Amino acid sequence: MTGRANRADGPPALILSEYLPYRLSVVSNKASGLIARAYQARFGLTIWEWRVIAVLGGGEAITAQAICEATAMDKVTVSRALRTLTERALVRRRTSPTDKRAALVSLTPEGQSIFDEIAPLALEWERSLLEGFSPEEADQLSRLLDRLEKRADVLGKGEL
């Protein structure tokens, strides 16, 4: 299952339904969509806004750049999400005490309350999604995803 079929008359043909990046994207979109319906309807949050809240839910104030790195979202998407969340008073920004050029972002009490309400629902959806897997299979899936992520990081840095 490599996403390509051998053709006698030329280069391999791409079979999109078997192409790993495409499959990962489809699974990710479907899995994210499951919980997204709940927080979109109840809190009016986009997937991107929820991801920012989820990263900040640990309680540590971090920079927008750190949010980009943690979520693999681009700067424009994070900036838009932060602007909306700031306007809704769900996050706050303050100047970093160690770098006056940087802003640290954290959840407001209302933002933390939303995180505290959605997080258990997200974990329940994850449990339901993995229901057909044995604990060993779920662990193996997690390890394989870790390896894929590390490999993607290496390739992203141009290291082959």
What confidence score (pLDDT) does residue 2 get?
Answer: 65
| Domain assignment present for 24 | no
Strands 10-14 and 91-95, by their bridges, are unpaired
| Backbone φ/ψ region at 159: left (φ over 0), alpha (ψ -120 to 50), beta | beta
Q: Does residue 11 lie within any of the structural domains? A: no
- Note the Cα 100 to chain centre separation in Å: 28
The reported pLDDT for the residue numbered 160 is: 59
What angle do the packed helices 47-56 and 109-129 form, to 10 degrees? 110
Residue 3 lies in a domain: no
Structural domain of 140 = 133-160
Can you give the pLDDT at residue 110? 97
- pLDDT in the model for residue 100: 83
Q: Which stretches of the chain drop beneath a pLDDT of 70?
A: 1-8, 159-160
Residue 5 resides in a domain? no
Report the number of distinct structural domains present in the chain.
Answer: 2
Residues 51 and 73: beta-carbon distance below 8 Å:
yes
Q: Sort residue 86 into left (φ over 0), alpha (ψ -120 to 50) or beta.
A: alpha
Q: Are residues 48 and 105 in the same domain?
A: yes
Taking the C-alpha atoms of residue 79 and residue 11, their distance in angstroms, rounded to an integer, is 42
Domain assignment of residue 21, yes or no? no
Please check whether residue 7 lies inside any domain of the structure.
no
